Every structure is written in structure tokens, then in C-alpha cells.
Amino acid sequence: MFKYLGEISDPKDLKKLSSEELTVLAYEIRNFLIQSVSKTGGHLASNLGVVELTIALHIVFNSPNDKFIWDVGHQAYVHKLLTGRMSEFDTLRQYKGLSGFPKRHESVHDHFDTGHSSTSISAAIGMAIARDLKGEKHDVISIIGDGALTGGMAFEAINYLGHSKHNVKIILNDNEMSISQNVGGMSIALNGLRRSEEHT
């Protein structure tokens, strides 16, 4: 039923697929998530929205050497699928089952036990500082939603990152979605940017 998804046990497997095959894989991932999460419960919309993004991240970077920090963590189901946990999805959010968030004890591909929002950039900076002190060369990537970006900790981390000059990559998943409607100056700025791009 899942021609390509069933063959993915490691992100390296993605790099063997053509662009046409990756398009089919994205379709299979969405179908799988709808079928699975409808039985177990969980965060469906946030994961349906990051399918192509997650595939792209795993093709461009080299997990687990490169470190992904998901913010918020409930958008990491696709990441879990692409890192060999498909067979465990029937236990998602069940007692002793697969967590609804990244968990270090589950996989070498999970680097931070993300509970909720606005913490990823701070965590990424800490990992980047440790990397630089040890003379290592991997990338640290924070994937943060537009809702999580409005949290104070995220602003403080961006401010410190600009001062410290450590190499951290920040991917803004600007999807106009949150638990409730986004408010505040950052939301207004992102909406304005989005609308200006629509008219260019």
C-alpha cells in the first residue's frame, strides 16, 4: 500500500529517490498519518503541513550528525516516520508507546525533548556552543512555527544569537496556524510580509 514509505528506515534512504518518487512519498505520508492519527489521536494538521519541509530537511542535512530541534515538538511526526519509527505509530501517545514529541530515548535522531513552544532556538544555541568548543563541524537547525516564534524565550535567543555569532540555522515554518489565533507585533509583521509577497 505504501510503496516508498515502507522502504524508509533511515533518512539516507530519501536521497536515493527521484523528485517524482519523493512526490509520491509525500502523498503516502499524508495518507498514513490520516489513517494512523485517526485511531490513536494526536496532532494531525501540524504534521500534514510539514511533510515536504521535513523531507527537504532530511535530504539537505545529514541526521543524526546534523541536529534538528523541533518547535513545537508536536510537528515532528513526519520526522519520526522518516527516522525508522513507522512500525510503532499504532502506539502513538499510548502508555509506553511512541511519544507525541521528540524524545532522546526513542531515537538518535531526536536531540531535544521538546515539550512545547519557543525553546528551540535557545536549545540550538547551547548545542552550537558545545559543538564549537569541541571543534566539531555539524549543523544545528531550529525548526520553529510562527506561533512559537512569538514567545519571549525565542526573542531572547535570537537577540543572543545575533550577538554571539554562533552558526545556528533557523527555519521559520510560517503557516499561519497555532492553537488559537496568533496576536502581537510579530504576527502582524509576518502577515504583512506574506501579503506583500502575494502581490509581487
pLDDT at 150: 84
**Cis preceding-peptide flag for 37 (omega within 30 of 0):** no
Give residue-wise pLDDT tens across range 170-189. Answer: 999 876 655 556 556 666 66
Q: Global pTM?
A: 0.88
Q: Please report the DSSP string for the chain in residue order.
A: --TTGGG-SSGGGGGGS-HHHHHHHHHHHHHHHHHHHHHH----HHHHTTHHHHHHHHHHS-TTTSEEEEESGGG-HHHHHHTT-GGGGGGTTSTTS--SS--TTT-TT--S---SSS-HHHHHHHHHHHHHHTT----EEEEEETTGGGSHHHHHHHHHHHHH----EEEEE--S--SS---SHHHHHHHHHHHHHHT-
3-class secondary-structure state, position 114 = coil
**pLDDT (tens digit per residue) in 6-33:** 999 999 999 999 999 999 999 999 999 9
Task: Cell numbers for 191, please give them.
Answer: 502577515
Q: What is the pLDDT of residue 180?
A: 55
Render pLDDT for 81-113 as a digit per residue (tens, 0 to 9).
Answer: 999 999 999 999 999 999 999 999 999 999 999
Query: Cβ(33)–Cβ(54) under 8 Å?
Result: no
